């Protein structure tokens, strides 16, 4: 009798990373129904997931099982001196004994053939070797960022100053050049722990049998080619395979229509600007004021979701348990003055459903990779407002590389003032440049949808992986 092919996943305590990896598993399940069993091991930093994430996990198919590990002792990591990536890396490292124990338990009773881990879980490759199974990195970011990671040791050797002080744009193999200030947060201070952890994590990418990346050939062909060159003179000194399987975006069953969708139903086509800074982004009080007043000044309709209390640290909401009404921090009278113009909410919104709504004309985004791919799949042009991690690199890609977005400009105090907010909204919603941006976005949308169709580039990659894993399955002995 044929056994289900069992795949083990290990993710990190960041919901956007969990979603991307689990959506990969859902697509595998959809393409090869009843052929795969998936177990996802999830380190945690709190006792219970948020309401929106709980709904997501409850809706997973029956053959995708999630094992939530006991919460990690994380209190001593809540330090202003550590960027988010460092905090996540240290937290995940502390969970490795439990990850190993769980993997051994799963493998002792089932037909596990491959281990797929988030790029922050590089230590788990040793467990795959111990269990004699294939191991893969799941990279939930762009090929441009992957190329940065793989080339980081070379950059470290050839550039002597801080990258942000480098006088020329920095060359990344297969990619457009970027300013040093647009490299990920972890590369902004070369004497920091974050920098050392980034270099180490990037070097460990080579331990994997392959890297599965949430991108697609038609969007990042040059970067993917540079990464996957197999020759003795390969820039990275490695011969691993790279598997682009994107765009993978969040999918959910149709549920009761959200209040913001009902509001959108009453708006004109392409008339509304959607604003979201993702599951972790926060703004300072001054920036909240300027954004709100800029929205009002623009005279354009807007839907602003996930409004949070102010914090000067852009990633504060990932670690904060404070319960305050975020709407109290909006400018006095703003909600009353914009009652007919906008819809503001502090909670979760069904982003994919919002982006595909006919009323949405543009998306003001923090440039998380999931949000960018969701915008591309639904053909929505963007305003790039990056906050942390690799988001400035993503912003550079969508504005200067793909040219499907406009990017906000900061004043000398690091604030996007209300006049800039209003002007860029008018630019993306009605300006001459917006026509070209929309045309390019529509073209990229077609490529994205083709990639995930039958015989599309990403679907061929899925089939290659699936057939390889199924060939390793052992029959169940009677």
Domains of the chain: 5-160+190-246+452-471 (3.40.50.2000), 259-449 (3.40.50.2000)
Question: Using CB atoms within 10 A of its CB, is residue 268 exposed (0-12), middle (13-18) or buried (19+)?
Answer: exposed
Closest CA to 315 of 87, 118, 17, 137: 87
- pLDDT tens track for 244-265: 999 999 987 667 789 999 999 9
> Whole-angstrom Cα distance, residue 79 to residue 319?
10
Give the model's confidence band at 315: pLDDT under 50 very low, under 70 low, under 90 confident, else very high: low
- This prediction has a pTM of 0.94
- pLDDT tens track for 382-437: 999 999 999 999 999 999 999 999 999 999 999 999 999 999 999 999 988 899 99
Give the model's confidence band at 171: pLDDT under 50 very low, under 70 low, under 90 confident, else very high: very high
CA dihedral sign of residues 65, 9, 70, 55: negative
Q: Is the model's pLDDT at 50 over the cut of 80? A: no
Catalytic residues: 17, 118
| Residues comprising the chain, all counted | 478
**According to the model, what pLDDT value does residue 478 have?**
43
């Amino acid at each position: 009798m044929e056994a289900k092919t069992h795949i083990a996943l290990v993710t990190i305590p960041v919901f956007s990373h969990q979603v991307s990896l689990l959506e990969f598993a859902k697509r595998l399940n959809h393409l090869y129904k009843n052929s795969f069993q998936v177990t996802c091991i999830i380190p945690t930093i709190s006792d219970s997931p948020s309401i929106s994430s709980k709904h997501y996990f409850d809706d997973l198919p029956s053959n995708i099982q999630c094992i939530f590990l006991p919460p990690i002792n994380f209190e001593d990591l809540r330090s202003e001196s550590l960027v988010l990536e460092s905090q996540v890396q240290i937290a995940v490292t502390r969970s490795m004994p439990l990850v190993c124990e769980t993997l051994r338990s799963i493998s002792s009773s089932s037909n596990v053939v491959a281990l797929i881990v988030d790029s922050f879980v590089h230590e788990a490759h040793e467990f795959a070797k111990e269990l004699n199974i294939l191991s893969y990195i799941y990279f939930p970011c762009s090929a441009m960022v992957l190329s940065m990671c793989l080339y980081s040791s070379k950059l470290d050797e050839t550039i002597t100053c801080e990258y942000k002080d480098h006088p020329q744009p920095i060359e990344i193999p297969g990619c457009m050049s970027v300013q040093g200030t647009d490299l990920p947060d972890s590369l902004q201070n070369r004497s920091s722990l974050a920098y050392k952890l980034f270099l180490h994590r990037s070097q460990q990418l080579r331990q994997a049998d392959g890297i599965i990346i949430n991108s697609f050939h038609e969007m990042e062909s040059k970067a993917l080619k540079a990464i996957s060159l197999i020759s003795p003179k390969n820039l990275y000194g490695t011969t691993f395979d790279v598997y682009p399987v994107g765009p993978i975006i969040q999918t959910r069953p149709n549920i009761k229509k959200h209040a913001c969708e009902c509001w959108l139903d009453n708006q004109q086509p392409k008339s509304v600007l959607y604003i979201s800074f993702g599951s972790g982004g926060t703004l300072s009080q001054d920036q909240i004021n300027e954004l709100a007043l800029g929205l009002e000044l623009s005279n354009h309709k807007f839907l602003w979701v996930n409004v949070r209390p102010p914090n000067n640290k852009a990633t504060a909401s990932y670690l904060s348990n404070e319960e305050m009404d975020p709407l109290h921090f909006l400018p006095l009278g703003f909600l009353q003055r914009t009652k007919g113009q906008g819809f503001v909410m502090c909670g979760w919104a069904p982003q994919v459903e919002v982006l595909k709504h006919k009323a949405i004309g543009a998306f003001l985004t923090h440039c998380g990779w999931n949000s960018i791919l969701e915008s591309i799949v639904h053909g929505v042009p963007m305003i790039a407002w990056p906050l942390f991690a690799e988001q400035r690199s993503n912003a550079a890609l969508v504005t200067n590389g793909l040219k499907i977005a406009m990017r906000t400009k900061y004043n000398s105090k690091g604030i996007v003032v209300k006049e800039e907010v209003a002007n860029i909204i008018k630019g993306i919603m009605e300006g001459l440049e917006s026509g070209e941006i929309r045309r390019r976005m529509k073209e990229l949308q077609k490529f994205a949808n083709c990639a995930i169709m039958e015989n599309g580039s990403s679907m061929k990659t899925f089939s290659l992986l699936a057939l390889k894993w199924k060939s390793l399955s052992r029959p169940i002995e009677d």
